[in-house]
Chains A and B, each alone.
Chain A
Amino acid sequence: MPSQSQFSPQAGISPKLSVRGIRKDYGATTVLHALDLNVHSGELLTLLGPSGSGKTTLLQIICGLVEPTSGRLFIDGRDETSLPVNQRDIGVVFQNYALFPHLTVKENIAFPLQMRRLPATEIDKRVAEVLDMVNLGHTADRLPKALSGGQQQRVALARCLVYRPSVILMDEPLGALDRKLRESMQIEIKRIHRETGATIIFVTHDQEEALALSDRICLMNDGVIAQVGTPQEIYEAPANRFSAEFIGLSNIFDGDIADGMLRSADGNIPAVAGMQAGDGLMVRPEHIALTDPAQGFLSGTVTETVYAGADTRLLVALESGKSIIVRQAAGFPIAPIGSSVGLTWQSSAIRIVR
């Protein structure tokens, strides 16, 4: 085995996969700007970002379908930047599954094993095993087009699991499924992740899905990594405006700081320590409490209420014209439309965003 420690000298544990300065240009446009990212062994990391942010491109570079313009990719400490796709120990679940239409479910799943020239008995055994794992034993001899979307999805997953790659990449694998199915597949993926111990990189543009699945989230925007962290870290301590706005709902106030107050067009709000010029303040809707109009930091009029069972969302229009989102937990009386309210919050709930 080539020198393990070549590029992971300091830390005791080397990352499973390491993206170093990877950049991709298409003609004059830069799609990925020199990214750095480490993925730990056995974790489930999601690449989250709006459409066009470069998630698929990064994934394709990792599995070798696209060559980066510059930068290096290390897997298990080996430089695999130029290793052909078919020699990497990586499994890919494609966005539209890419099941071979002329092969049955069984043949599709056996394909990677045949490519690896495993003996036929071993192939049969492993295919049966993995079919069981995804609960598709009864469909073994059908063609993909005779399966439902959810079943096709599971075949794609099985085809990838069967040769036990140590890294699995999934590009928006649940995008085509309806909500119910998507949620049950999320649970299934979590289970399989636990059972196999594989390292999974999961691409999605759906923040709820990312929050529900991930050990860590890598948030991308315009070919740049905006923030990497656990779901909780990103939600509770967004590193920047993009993170704050993309994940969850947020209210952001901007203005000049003077005398410990943020003087914004919407009113004066107590500032927090460490704020610099140009920074904004962010408050999540669930941290805002409604009070008497005279008592809040800000006051306004309720213009809309959206009932969502567990909570109710209110839109409060400030005098400046800005709308603030407030979330009221179930059980409280809902402020009627047109009523005047004051807005208040604990200073610990406030985050600085740059």
Chain B
Amino acid sequence: MAEWQSPSRRRFKLDPLWLAGPGIFYLVLLLIVPAAGLMFLSFRDSSGSLSFETYRQMFGAGIYVQVLINTFSIAMQTTIACLLVGYPLAYWLAKMPEKRRRLVMWLVLLPFWMSALLKNFAWMVLLSRRGVLSQILTGMGIGGPVDLLYGRGVVVFAMAHTMLPLAALTMLPTLLSIDLGLARAAKTLGASGGQAFWRIVFPLSMPGVAAAGLLVFISSLGFFITPALLGSPRETVIGQLLITQVQQLLNWQLAGAIAVMLLVVTLAVCLVYDRAFGISAVSGERSDRRSTGLFARIGTVVIASAARVTDILAGVLDVVPGLRRRGWLLDAFCVLVMAMLLVPVLIFLPMAFGSSSFLEFPPRGYSLRWFETYWNSSNWTGATMRSFGIAIVSALLASAMGGIAAFGVARSKSRIGNVAFLLFMLPMIIPNIVIAVALFYLFAQIGLIATDAGIALGHTLTALPVVFVIILTTFKNYDWRLDQAAATLGATRMGTVRKVTWPIVKGSVVAAFLFGFLHSFEELTIALFVGGGVRQTLPKQMWDDVLLQVSPTLAAASVIILAVVTVVFVAAERARPR
């Protein structure tokens, strides 16, 4: 038989990864280049030659060192608190029947998307001298007006409150992927409830716990809202330092040095994590690695002792009447935690409808006067309009770039796909404050400070990972054989996209857009730096007002933010396919 030549029509096939090109270009241009430039600056003195003067300054001056210590210890304490409270919550959610979990998840997801500013503002109102708690305590005759604000305790408490949904939601996928039948199997093999939990469920859930710890810790490092609003000067953190040093004094060297340090710590934490679990476990993927060595041996001992302690504790509790069946303890605890997540915010909102000229609870009379103040203030309405505009533009940009990149990464067979994935996750891993300062540095040189475009470009950058991950998950779960089937049934390339692919992924693209919108709508840090005090977004306007004085107008603005967030969040959740 004759040799048949290969078809002449064959052409060089580009790996779909090229679709990630625009997004990667954007990330390099707006994040990697300016951040690198900033870090580079920190190793120079004012004449431009190599020097470690900045670092000597930073580690030499007592106040800087104190700020560093504050930042790290607050971040650590917040992380521990989040894990201790978040784990039972995630476990509780994972054990629920699927239908009920979907409902309850709303109550965790809503606080997750609620702006951090709002949550902290709520605590500020509730815990102040004239706040609800103080009034209750006074009413009960426990001393005069108490000031619960301004201390390490309240800072860690409120920060953990802010980050708790993040922790629980990060742990949940891992817990869900654990076959709870395994614990049952352990019991048939003779393990007590405690033994089964500590020896089977707990070790299997470690990747999720570590991922949650990692994300909370990193986010806490650059977080300044809580310490600024609820802390005393003794709780000053890096974020606040950067705001004064960069915004007011343009001390680029110091900014660079701090950026270097935060990045080094972040990187170190990520590396340790990667060592132990493999970085892909952050997104709930199971790695098949089994850790060995010192960590593993310590872990075994810890788990064995924890199991023993639980058994002893269980033995003691068994004797107490009413505690023989104690499943309700977890229920009670978790209901309480969920109430804590939502109630503080919901309870201070009615104050916006009060008629007196300061915030009080319960309000003595009701009026809409503060909404009128809001409505008649061009500052507030202008900021609101600007926030809407910027959020729409950045969500569009992020969805376009992140969407096609997600498609490319999902379809790519190339190994570089993993690198691209990490690159797109960078804005989530690098502390927000570093991104904001780097953007400030870049935009100062090209005249984008105090422009709406600058803020929108910045928000696009930080919205990218959110949008990217949502769409990537969709494309990864997409059954590409459907496209093949459509082709064999006679559909053209365009026809397949229009009639099959798009209708199936549409929901999650819309959801990604809406979550991108939410992200920008609530973003404060970048708006603070890039807005230059001129282009006020809604969160920035709130921030400035909060620092000046707590007024009922703020509560009115909060109501409006919360209404927008809730509506957009509900729309996004409904759009998202299950």
In the assembled complex, which residues on chain A have CB atoms less than 8 Å from the CB atom of B486? 100, 111
In the assembled complex, which residues on chain B have CB atoms less than 8 Å from the CB atom of A94? 481, 484-485
- Which listed residue (A21, A65, A68, A112) contacts B490, Cβ 8 A? A112
- Which listed residue (B2, B10, B484) contacts A98, Cβ 8 A? B484
Q: With A91-B488, A92-B488, A111-B489 in contact, do A98 and B479 touch (Cβ < 8 Å)? A: yes
Residue among A84, A102, A159 having the largest count of chain B Cβ atoms under 10 Å: A102
Q: Are A65 and B487 in contact (CB under 8 A)?
A: yes
Q: Are B488 and A21 in contact (CB under 8 A)?
A: no
B486-501 interface code vs A (CB 8 A; 1 in, 0 out): 1111111001000110
In the assembled complex, which residues on chain B have CB atoms less than 8 Å from the CB atom of A98? 479, 481-482, 484-485
Q: State the Cβ distance, B274 to closest chain A Cβ, in Å.
A: 29
B-contacting residues, A72-126, CB 8 Å: 72, 81-82, 84-88, 90-92, 94, 96, 98, 100-102, 111-112, 115-116
Q: Are B1 and A20 in contact (CB under 8 A)?
A: yes
Bound together, the chains give a CA A67 to CA B12 distance in angstroms of 13
Q: State the Cβ distance, B222 to closest chain A Cβ, in Å.
A: 42
| Interface residue tally on B, bucketed by range | 20 to 34
Q: Are B491 and A72 in contact (CB under 8 A)?
A: no
Bound together, the chains give a CA A69 to CA B504 distance in angstroms of 33
Q: State the Cβ distance, B511 to closest chain A Cβ, in Å.
A: 16
Bound together, the chains give a CA A90 to CA B489 distance in angstroms of 8
- Which listed residue (A82, A85, A101) contacts B9, Cβ 8 A? A82
Q: Does B143 contact A (CB under 8 A)?
A: no
Q: Are B485 and A92 in contact (CB under 8 A)?
A: yes
Bound together, the chains give a CA A98 to CA B482 distance in angstroms of 5
Q: State the Cβ distance, B499 to closest chain A Cβ, in Å.
A: 7
Bound together, the chains give a CA A111 to CA B479 distance in angstroms of 18
Q: Does A71 contact B (CB under 8 A)?
A: yes
| Interface residue tally on A, bucketed by range | 35 or more
Bound together, the chains give a CA A98 to CA B478 distance in angstroms of 11
Q: Are A102 and B485 in contact (CB under 8 A)?
A: no
Q: With A20-B1, A101-B504, A102-B504 in contact, do A70 and B488 touch (Cβ < 8 Å)? A: no
Q: Does A281 contact B (CB under 8 A)?
A: no
Chain B minimum-CB-distance residue to A97: B485
Chain B minimum-CB-distance residue to A60: B484
Q: Are A163 and B489 in contact (CB under 8 A)?
A: yes
- Which listed residue (A63, A71, A116, A163) contacts B4, Cβ 8 A? A71
Bound together, the chains give a CA A87 to CA B492 distance in angstroms of 9
Q: Are B1 and A21 in contact (CB under 8 A)?
A: yes
Q: State the Cβ distance, A72 to closest chain B Cβ, in Å.
A: 4
Q: Does B503 contact A (CB under 8 A)?
A: yes
Bound together, the chains give a CA A94 to CA B500 distance in angstroms of 16
Bound together, the chains give a CA A348 to CA B8 distance in angstroms of 52
Q: Does A304 contact B (CB under 8 A)?
A: no
A-contacting residues, B1-46, CB 8 Å: 1-7, 9-10
- Which listed residue (A63, A68, A72) contacts B488, Cβ 8 A? A63
Q: Are B481 and A86 in contact (CB under 8 A)?
A: no
Q: Does A256 contact B (CB under 8 A)?
A: no
Q: State the Cβ distance, B571 to closest chain A Cβ, in Å.
A: 20
Bound together, the chains give a CA A91 to CA B486 distance in angstroms of 11
Q: Are A115 and B7 in contact (CB under 8 A)?
A: no
Q: With A86-B487, A92-B485 in contact, do A68 and B6 touch (Cβ < 8 Å)? A: yes
Chain B minimum-CB-distance residue to A102: B503
Bound together, the chains give a CA A84 to CA B499 distance in angstroms of 19
In the assembled complex, which residues on chain B have CB atoms less than 8 Å from the CB atom of A86? 487-492, 495
Bound together, the chains give a CA A82 to CA B10 distance in angstroms of 9
Q: Does A36 contact B (CB under 8 A)?
A: yes
Q: State the Cβ distance, A39 to closest chain B Cβ, in Å.
A: 17
Residue among A21, A68, A69, A85 having the largest count of chain B Cβ atoms under 10 Å: A85
Q: State the Cβ distance, A41 to closest chain B Cβ, in Å.
A: 20
In the assembled complex, which residues on chain A have CB atoms less than 8 Å from the CB atom of B487? 64-65, 84-86
Bound together, the chains give a CA A68 to CA B10 distance in angstroms of 10
- Which listed residue (B4, B481, B499) contacts A111, Cβ 8 A? B499
Q: Are A100 and B491 in contact (CB under 8 A)?
A: no
In the assembled complex, which residues on chain A have CB atoms less than 8 Å from the CB atom of B503? 102
Q: Are A70 and B484 in contact (CB under 8 A)?
A: no
Chain A minimum-CB-distance residue to B482: A98
Q: Are B6 and A69 in contact (CB under 8 A)?
A: yes
Q: Are A20 and B4 in contact (CB under 8 A)?
A: yes
Chain A minimum-CB-distance residue to B496: A86
Q: State the Cβ distance, A349 to closest chain B Cβ, in Å.
A: 35
Q: State the Cβ distance, B576 to closest chain A Cβ, in Å.
A: 14
Bound together, the chains give a CA A22 to CA B486 distance in angstroms of 25
Q: State the Cβ distance, A73 to closest chain B Cβ, in Å.
A: 9
In the assembled complex, which residues on chain B have CB atoms less than 8 Å from the CB atom of A115? 489-492, 495
- Which listed residue (A70, A92, A102) contacts B5, Cβ 8 A? A70
- Which listed residue (B479, B489, B492) contacts A112, Cβ 8 A? B489
In the assembled complex, which residues on chain B have CB atoms less than 8 Å from the CB atom of A82? 7, 9
Bound together, the chains give a CA A128 to CA B479 distance in angstroms of 28
Chain B minimum-CB-distance residue to A114: B499
Q: With A94-B481, A100-B500 in contact, do A21 and B4 touch (Cβ < 8 Å)? A: yes
Bound together, the chains give a CA A88 to CA B489 distance in angstroms of 9
In the assembled complex, which residues on chain A have CB atoms less than 8 Å from the CB atom of B1? 20-21, 36
A190-213 interface code vs B (CB 8 A; 1 in, 0 out): 000000000000000000000000
Bound together, the chains give a CA A84 to CA B2 distance in angstroms of 25
Top 8 A-B residue pairs of the complex, sorted by shortest distance between their CB atoms = A98-B485, A115-B490, A112-B489, A85-B487, A92-B488, A70-B6, A21-B4, A72-B4
Q: Which residues of B contact A (CB under 8 A)?
A: 1-7, 9-10, 479, 481-482, 484-492, 495, 499-500, 503-504
**Given A86-B489, A86-B495: 11 more A-B contacts, CB < 8 Å:** A70-B5, A82-B9, A85-B488, A86-B491, A86-B492, A87-B490, A96-B479, A102-B503, A115-B489, A115-B495, A159-B489
Show 5 residue pairs from A and B whose CB-CB distance is below 8 angstroms, ordered by the A residue: A72-B4, A86-B495, A90-B488, A91-B489, A111-B486
